[in-house]
Chains A and B, each alone.
Chain A
Amino acid sequence: MTQRSRAFIAGAYEHPLRTIPDKTVPQIHAEVAIGALADAGLTMADVDAYYSAGDAPGFGALSMIDYLGLDVSHVDDTETGGSSYLVHVRHAAEAIAAGNIDVALITLAGNPRSGGAGPGGSARFSSAPEASFENFFGMGVIGGYAMAAQRHMHEFGTTGADLAEIKVAASTHAQHNPNALLQDVVTVEQVLESRMISDPLHLLDACVITDGGGALVVVSEAVANDLERHTIPVLGTGEAIKGTNAGRVDLTHTAAVVSGPAAFAEAGVTPADIDYASIYDSFTITVLVTLEDLGFCEKGKGGEFVRDGALQAPFGKLPFNTDGGGLCNNHPANRGGMTKVIEAVRQLRGEAHPAVQVPDCKLALAHGTGGSMATRVGSSTLILGREV
């Protein structure tokens, strides 16, 4: 068996602001690109591959490469919604393994909190083959996830209090993040007493809406060896798509049932080995279903799993989203995948906030869930390690 060339995350940067009314989306892309490259100890001139998703305006990567003044030999505009940036890490690792690139730059930016337009454009979405069969029912984003929660409760007896535990853990972490949009610790009761938006999901079951962005730099081993910064090896990756399956809709699973095992197998580890997990948290139900799908517990046992502070750092059985996650900290451009990878990198570098740093964190998982659990979902899983 041939040993693949390994890929390393060398730079990670999260925009510190949550409201950015005075800057353009390309400008925020530029700020996070500069931030991540500076974190790695590299410059724009070192970049030979660029990755962006639907949040990049205009012609996507084509527009952004020109705007930033990059000179690349590899480009990837893969769009799987909020999980895109984990898919980009995987694709960058593959291109590095093939020997095609050395320094990949991945950026995300948007300003929905200040009223900026969402990605994709209305023409693109209204021409989708499914559009006329899904767009005339008033199903907002939360409505789809609410139906997933309702079905999970019906099949497995999951409760609103179970879902609330996830928000409570996120808020417990967010109190230590001075950049988090929401920094107040909340209780299960407060979640259950918050306004019902779409039964059974309350206001506090939903992620925040923020301006901002983030960027990652993924490099080859040769480049990593020359850098002073603590670089993070990419040990295993997976990506998968799950759709409406010709009408055999299944609201209690995501494509994580495929992307997770693929990533674990490549890394040669199991869920029990994971010290820290960044789990996509557009809504509390997203986390619960994903934990089951990834194999941290059996299908249907997610409610039981998250009780009693299981997700709370540093000593819960699976500390998660120690930056406060999308539920409390940041969900830039309505896309939470980038920040999931960034916090996993912080944990593995030992640079999370001391109050939530997992002691001796050696193995982390980051997972993204793009699109909608109610229709078409793009799942991506990364297993990240610590350089020895």
Chain B
Amino acid sequence: MSDTTTTAASQLPTGEPNISHDNRRYWEATAEGRIELPRCTACDLVIWYPRSICPDCQSMDLSWETMSGNGTVYSYTITRAGVGRKWREHLPLVVAYVQLDEGPIVLTNIVDTDPSIIEIGMAVTAVFHDTGHPISDEDGAPNSAILRFTSVS
């Protein structure tokens, strides 16, 4: 499983997620350094992004499963300009679509990886960046985290 700790240098900007009935399990899992996604009990589809309905068969009977955290790069771009202020000090920034081994292709960043070695098909593994925002109002609730990836090698 992936390392949940990251150094300040590699931490990219985050934000406060909209935690809702659609996605609460996902964000709770990120606080533990895991990816949990809904799987449709009727048609077996693993669903990204997390939600309350299967978009293939419209069943609302979903179970939640932990993903391996491993995947490959489906596409990427090295962004050098044209982003909002909070991203500018982090340029060049690698934005990517990563295909999880379980199937879904997720929007993310590739971090702690020399941009010049990134290519489509490259193996990557999950890392989590603390959002600074607790997953609930309860005392001592852990913070949610943003899912990013780094090269395996």
Contacts and interface: CB of A to CB of B under 8 A. Distances in A.
**Chain B interface category by residue count:** 35 or more
A122 to B, nearest CB: 12
A368 to B, nearest CB: 23
Contacts of A197: 79-82
B60 interface: no
A317 to B, nearest CB: 30
B82 A143 contact: yes
**Secondary structure at chain B's binding surface: helix, strand, loop or mixed?**
loop
Contacts of A198: 77-82, 95
A138 B90 CA distance: 10
B82 A140 contact: yes
A135 interface: yes
Contact of B49 (A142, A154, A244, A374): A244
Nearest to B107: A134
Contact of B107 (A129, A137, A141): A137
B97 A251 contact: yes
Given A132-B18, A137-B108, A138-B95, A148 B75 contact: yes
A151 interface: yes
Contacts of B46: 247
Interface string B91-131: 00101110010011111110000000000100000000000
Given A129-B51, A147-B95, A196 B74 contact: no
A138 B12 contact: yes
Contacts of B61: none
Interface string A246-276: 1111010000000000000000000000000
A139 interface: yes
B33 to A, nearest CB: 17
Interface in B3-19: 12-15, 17-19
Contacts of B107: 133-134, 137, 139, 374-375
A193 interface: no
Given A129-B49, A249-B74, A143 B79 contact: yes
**Chain A interface category by residue count:** 35 or more
Contact of A247 (B47, B81, B93): B47
A262 B83 CA distance: 37
A360 interface: no
A151 B18 contact: no
Given A132-B17, A133-B107, A251-B97, A138 B84 contact: yes
B74 A151 contact: yes
Q: Which of A148, A154, A201 has the largest number of chain B CB atoms within 10 A?
A: A154
A341 B75 CA distance: 33
B77 A147 contact: yes
A177 interface: no
Contacts of B97: 147, 249, 251, 374
17 contacts: A126-B18, A127-B18, A135-B15, A138-B13, A138-B90, A139-B79, A140-B82, A140-B83, A151-B120, A197-B80, A198-B77, A246-B54, A247-B100, A248-B104, A251-B75, A251-B97, A374-B107
Interface of B: 12-15, 17-19, 22-23, 45-51, 54-56, 74-84, 87, 90, 93, 95-97, 100, 103-109, 120, 146
Given A129-B22, A131-B18, 8 more contacts: A132-B23, A134-B49, A136-B146, A138-B79, A143-B83, A147-B96, A247-B103, A249-B97
